[in-house]
Structures are given as structure tokens and as C-alpha cells.
Structure 1
Amino acid sequence: MALQWMILTYVVAAEAALALLVTLPSPKLVKKRLVSLVSLILQPALFVVPFAGFQLLDIYWKNEHRLVCTSEICSAAERDRYEKSFFKAQRNVILCAIACLLYWCIYRICKYNKDLESLEELEKRYKEE
């Protein structure tokens, strides 16, 4: 189970690096090539959305079927273990949400840059006429 969260963490780190790379100011040619490369990567990277969704469903199911330790019978160690698992679940929900949000942001940035390029080409054609 920890391997899935490690993979998702690395994917979020890679998405953050790509988002930073695409948004940094650079010359037009470099930006155009970079956006086209990232656009090619986006389609296979779409796996992160259903993967994160499955992880969210897993967290929800575990939360619904978790043993609650609120009585006085529970020891301090059991209570700490319960709280620790609850905080891990919250962290993992945030990680899943960030993975989906970063993917969407990268997609929109690439689409915006492509639309901008097409508008610039259209403007050139109108100026030539």
C-alpha cells in the first residue's frame, strides 16, 4: 500500500516540475517546443486521474469501516495509532486532490499556449493580406 502512495508522490512532484517548467518565461521557440513535448506527455499521464480517484475511494471505504477508538477501554497507544492513521488519510486525500489539480493546470496551460500560437498565426495571415 505504501508503494502506491510513493508512486503518487513522485507523480505529483513530476507534475509540479512540469508546471513550473511550462510557466517559466523562455524564448518563443523553446516555449513552443516545450509545450508540444508536454502536450505529448499529457495523454499517457492521464492515468493519474483514475488512479487518484481509486485511491480516494479506498480511503473513503477504509474510513467508513475503521474501528473507532473513543471509549475509555482504549489504551493511549491505540488512540495514538488511530489518530496517526486518520492524519495519514487526510494527507493522502490532499495528495490525490493535488495530483488531479496539477494535471488539470498543466493541461490548461498547454491548451492556452496552443491557442495563443494559433491566434498569432492567424494575426500574421491577416497582416500579410
Structure 2
Amino acid sequence: MALQWMILTYVVAVEAVVALLLTIPSPKLVKSRLVSLVSLILQPSMFVVPFSAFQLLDIYWKNEHRLMCTGEICTAAERDRYEKSIYKAQRNVILCAAACLLYWCVYRICKYYKEIQSLEEVEKRYKDQ
């Protein structure tokens, strides 16, 4: 189970770096090459959305079926373990949401850049006429 969260963490880190690279100012040629490369990678990397959704369902199911440790019969170690599992679940929910949000941001940035390029081409054609 830890391998899944490690993979999702790396995917979120890569998505954050790609979003940063797409938003920093750079020469037009470099930006267009980067956007075309990222656009090619976007469709295969769509796996992150259903993967995150499955992980969210797993967290929800585990939360619903988790043994509650709130009574006085619980030891301090059991209570700490319970609280630690709650914090890990909250962290993992944030990680899943960040993966989906960053994927969407990268997709929209690429789409907006392509729309801007096409509008610039149309404007150039009108100026030439």
C-alpha cells in the first residue's frame, strides 16, 4: 500500500514541476516545444485521475470500517495509533485532490496556450491581407 502512495507523491511532484515550467516566462520557441511535449504526455498520464479516485474510495471504505478508539478501554498506544491513521488518511486525501487538481491545471494551461497560438495565427493572417 505504501508503494501506491509513493507513486502518487512522485506524480504530484512531477505535475507541480511541469505546471511551474509551463507558467514561467520563456522564449516563444521553448514554450511552444514544451507545450507540445506536455500535450503528448497528457493523455497517457490521465491514469492519475482514476487512480486517485480509487485511492479516495479506498480511504473512504477504510474510514467507514475503522475500529473507533475513543473509550476508556483503549490504551495510550492504541489511541496514538488511531490518531496517526486518521492523520495519514487526511494527508492522503489531500494528495489525491492535489493530483487531480494539478493534472487539470496542466491540461488547461496547455489548452489555453494552444488557443492563444491559433488566435495569433488568425491575427497574423488578417494583418497580411
1:25 correspondence with 2:25: yes
Please report how far the alpha carbon of residue 65 of structure 1 lies from its aligned counterpart in structure 2 after TM superposition.
0.2
Letter in 2 for 1:14: V
Q: How does 1:84-123 map to 2 (within 5 A)?
A: 84-123=84-123
TM-score by length of 2: 0.99
**TM-align CA RMSD:** 0.3
In structure 2, the gaps of 5 or more residues are none
Name the structure 2 match of 1:58. Answer: 58
Moved over 3 A (4+): none
Match of 1:80 in 2: 80
CA distance in 2, matches of 1:9, 1:77: 28
CA distance in 2, matches of 1:76, 1:11: 36
The 2-side partners of 1:76 and 1:48 are apart by 38
Q: Which amino acid in the other structure matches residue 28 of structure 2? A: K
Aligned to 1:47: 47
TM-score with structure 1 length normalisation? 0.99
- AA partner of residue 17 (structure 2): A
Equivalences, count: 129
Distance, in Å, in 1 between the alignment partners of 2:47 and 2:124 is 38
Q: Measure, in 1, the Cα distance between the counterparts of 2:126 and 2:36.
A: 25
Query: In the alignment, what sits opposite 1:11?
Result: 11
CA separation in 1, counterparts of 2:34 and 2:65?
46
